[in-house]
């Protein structure tokens, strides 16, 4: 049988294309499942075993086992040797953190955060807006014996905290209105804002005074005061906030603390714009 070189090459190329398409089809579900695992752990904010992930996500156990192993090797998941539960690591914060020309938001903010922490003695946090939630990306703990703190990477609804509110307040109008339209308001405490109308009014007050406050709106007994860090185009990339028991930052001190937070956050903003 006479077969030309061109025919052989065409057949080889066809086989290679078919193999490539098979690998691509196989890779897509794996990628989707890996992302689903990460998003699931982020939403529930609790660790989970392989068996729990199989039950909750409905994927084959072999697939969950293989993907979680790969994510551990890459440093995005950690596995407790005792409970066998998987949890997210802080590596994701390096991916999502806003960056200037030469450094990160954290690098630009730390000096101002340290000064704010020293002057107030209270927990000082650096936060970013991720969709409709506020995420903590850096934290300096209060010097008091009784103090408020949270885990790095912890998140909460943006409408229920000072840093989330200040970031939404400084978004471009169209983006702000679109985001507010997607908020699902829920009363966590008696002071939580629970309607879009009231939240829009709060946005106007925040822009007028230059800082945002949280009067125990997310956690009972905790007050927060925050100011924004904007890039050179005026877009809000992060917020610095002071969080403390309401007894140490009562409503009567909001203006005093707000002025200090705004002044020191402006220093971080200037540093970020210079990077």
Cα(12)–Cα(5) distance, integer angstroms: 11
Q: Is the pTM of this model over 0.75?
A: no
- Sign for the CA dihedral angle at 81, 83, 85, 91 comes to negative
- The one-character DSSP state at 225 is E
For 25, the token pair is 């089809």
Residue pair 165/191 in contact by the 8 Å Cβ criterion: no
CB 257 within 8 A of CB 240: no
Eight-class DSSP state of 215? E
33 vs 68: CA distance, rounded Å: 10
Domain positions in the chain: 5-89, 97-274
| Domain 5-89: which CATH number of 1.10.10.10, 2.60.40.420, 1.10.760.10, 3.40.50.300 | 1.10.10.10
Backbone angles phi, psi at 255, to 5 degrees: -65, -45
* Nearest C-alpha neighbor of 263 from the set 219, 210, 184, 214: 210
Two structure tokens written together for 193: 């804002």
- What is the bridge-based pairing of β-strands 155-157 and 212-215? unpaired
* Burial annotation 146-179 (CB, 10 A radius, 16+ → b, else e): eebeeeebebbbbbbbbbbbbbbbbbeeeebeeb
* The CATH number of the domain covering residues in 97-274: 3.30.450.40
Here the tokens at position 70 are: 């790969």
Q: Do domains 5-89 and 97-274 have the same CATH topology?
A: no
pLDDT in tens, the chain (275 residues): 454 444 544 454 555 444 444 444 445 588 899 989 988 887 776 889 999 999 999 999 999 999 999 998 888 888 888 899 998 776 666 565 555 555 688 999 999 999 999 999 999 999 998 889 998 999 999 999 888 988 888 889 999 999 999 999 999 999 999 999 999 999 999 999 999 999 999 999 999 999 999 999 999 999 999 999 999 899 999 999 999 999 999 999 999 999 999 999 999 999 999 87
């Amino acid at each position: 049988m006479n077969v030309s070189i061109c025919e052989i090459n065409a057949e080889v190329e066809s086989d290679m294309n078919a193999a490539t398409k098979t690998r691509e089809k196989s890779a897509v579900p794996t990628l989707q499942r890996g992302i689903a695992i990460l998003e699931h752990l982020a939403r529930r904010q609790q660790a989970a075993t392989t068996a729990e992930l199989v039950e909750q996500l409905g994927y084959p156990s072999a697939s969950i086992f293989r993907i979680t192993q790969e994510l551990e090797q890459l440093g995005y998941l950690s596995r407790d040797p005792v409970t066998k539960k998987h949890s997210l690591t802080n590596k994701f914060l390096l991916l999502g953190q806003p960056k200037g020309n030469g450094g990160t938001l954290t690098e630009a903010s730390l000096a101002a955060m340290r000064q704010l922490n020293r002057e107030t003695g209270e927990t000082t946090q650096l936060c970013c807006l991720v969709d409709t939630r506020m995420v903590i990306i850096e934290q300096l703990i209060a010097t008091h014996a009784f103090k408020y703190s949270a885990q790095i990477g912890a998140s909460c609804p943006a409408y229920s905290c000072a840093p989330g509110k200040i970031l939404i307040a400084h978004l471009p109008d169209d983006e702000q209105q679109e985001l507010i339209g997607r908020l699902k308001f829920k009363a966590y405490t008696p002071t939580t804002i629970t309607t879009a109308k009231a939240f829009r009014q709060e946005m106007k007050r925040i822009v007028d005074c230059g800082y945002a406050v949280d009067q125990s709106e997310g956690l009972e007994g905790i007050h927060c005061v925050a100011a924004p860090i904007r890039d050179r185009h005026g877009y809000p990339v992060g917020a610095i906030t002071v969080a403390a028991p309401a007894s140490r930052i009562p409503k009567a001190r909001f203006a005093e603390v707000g002025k200090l937070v705004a002044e020191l956050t402006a220093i971080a903003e200037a540093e970020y714009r210079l990077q």
